[in-house]
Amino acid sequence: MNEQDGQGRQERADAVDREMAAHLLPDAVVRALGRWWETNAAAYADGTPGAHTVRYTPGRWAQITPWPEALAPTSAGGDAAVSRAEVASAVADALRREAFREALVGTYVWGKGKRGTPGGSGPATLHKILAFDGLDAALAAAVTALREQGASQAYAALQGRVPGLGPSFFTKFLYFTGIAVPSAHGPRPLILDRVLSRRLRRMAAAVGRESGHDVDGSIAAWVWSDGNWSPHRYAVYLSFIHAAADQLTADEGWPSGAAPDLLECALFTTAWETSG
């Protein structure tokens, strides 16, 4: 692709982004989220996803250190569970001690859940990440960038800096860090992974088709790919989710003052018909 073609594609992507920002969540998605809230209102009555709990098998992570006290001992048999609120508390405690690796472990294990298997992609990949000499410096730089500059700068500070640590997992670290370390600028970080990107891709494809900016969905597939999103794309994502959360609080049935991460949690587990 030559420079002119690349510029044209970016202009079309920007146009789709503007359409999404103007229209936010389509009716079919709002209805799906309304059904999600009806089912989950009791669990998330405070308007946050703090009660969102993930099950994991501690023994599968026996090779991992440092191990957060908030997680069940790796010597424990069977499965255990940990909630977002518990991980947030553990990360805040770790960051007060500048125990960046410990904070990362807590967010990584929560993110993997039951998908972590002995010698598998979860524990094995995390072990390699923790062996990287520059890990502490990279995590510390991201925390500083979040505090002083904002979420997209913190994202940029981690992108491509730590072998094996991609955005699907380092945005989990940024998300929990953002609860403990408020940013001086812009919206606080949220989790962005392949599932959420695909949700945004479906919405972008519909908007692009209706507006004529992306009739075949190729722009949506490009910007909302399965990974390696740019800091700009992460900033677009944060802006959209924060605005969409405000949109939902104005709709009957969605909790007043619901946090943007409640919408992130709901989108992760909600599907809707494109024809809706």
What pLDDT is recorded for position 204?
97
Q: How many residues can be counted in the chain?
A: 276
Instruction: Kindly give the parts of the chain with pLDDT less than 50.
Output: 2-3, 119, 275-276
- Helices 84-96 and 167-180: crossing angle in degrees, nearest 10, is 70
Q: Three-state DSSP class for 173? A: helix
Give the C-alpha distances (Å, rounded to integers) separating 62 from 25, 106, 120, 222, 263.
Answer: 43, 14, 12, 39, 34
**Residue where a domain terminates, one of 180, 203, 230:** 180
What pLDDT is recorded for position 271?
76
Whole-angstrom distance, CA of residue 217 vs CA of residue 199? 13
What pLDDT is recorded for position 149?
95
Amino acid 209 reads R
Based on the fold, state whether residues 150 and 58 are members of the same structural domain: yes
Based on the fold, state whether residues 141 and 215 are members of the same structural domain: no
Instruction: Give the pair of three-digit tokens for residue 239.
Output: 């802006």
For 48-133, where are the E strands, in sequence order? 53-56, 80-83
Domain count, the chain: 2
**Residue where a domain terminates, one of 136, 157, 180:** 180
Based on the fold, state whether residues 142 and 236 are members of the same structural domain: no
Torsion of CA 68, 72, 77, 83, to 10 degrees: -120
Whole-angstrom distance, CA of residue 40 vs CA of residue 43? 5
Based on the fold, state whether residues 72 and 158 are members of the same structural domain: yes
- Determine, yes or no, domain membership for 276: no
Based on the fold, state whether residues 15 and 105 are members of the same structural domain: no
Based on the fold, state whether residues 59 and 144 are members of the same structural domain: yes
To which H or E segment does residue 55 belong? strand 53-56
Give the C-alpha distances (Å, rounded to integers) separating 138 from 50, 75, 125, 153, 241.
Answer: 27, 30, 17, 13, 26
- Determine, yes or no, domain membership for 186: no
**Residue where a domain terminates, one of 150, 180, 210:** 180
Q: What is the CA radius of gyration of the chain?
A: 19
What pLDDT is recorded for position 1?
56
β 80-83/53-56 pair status: antiparallel
- The range of the structural domain enclosing residue 140 comes to 53-180
What pLDDT is recorded for position 252?
61
To which H or E segment does residue 196 belong? helix 194-211
Based on the fold, state whether residues 255 and 137 are members of the same structural domain: no
Based on the fold, state whether residues 149 and 90 are members of the same structural domain: yes
Q: Maximum Cα–Cα distance for the chain, whole Å?
A: 59
Q: Bridge-partner residues for 53, per DSSP?
A: 83
Whole-angstrom distance, CA of residue 161 vs CA of residue 155? 10
Instruction: Give the pair of three-digit tokens for residue 14.
Output: 């920007």
- Determine, yes or no, domain membership for 274: no
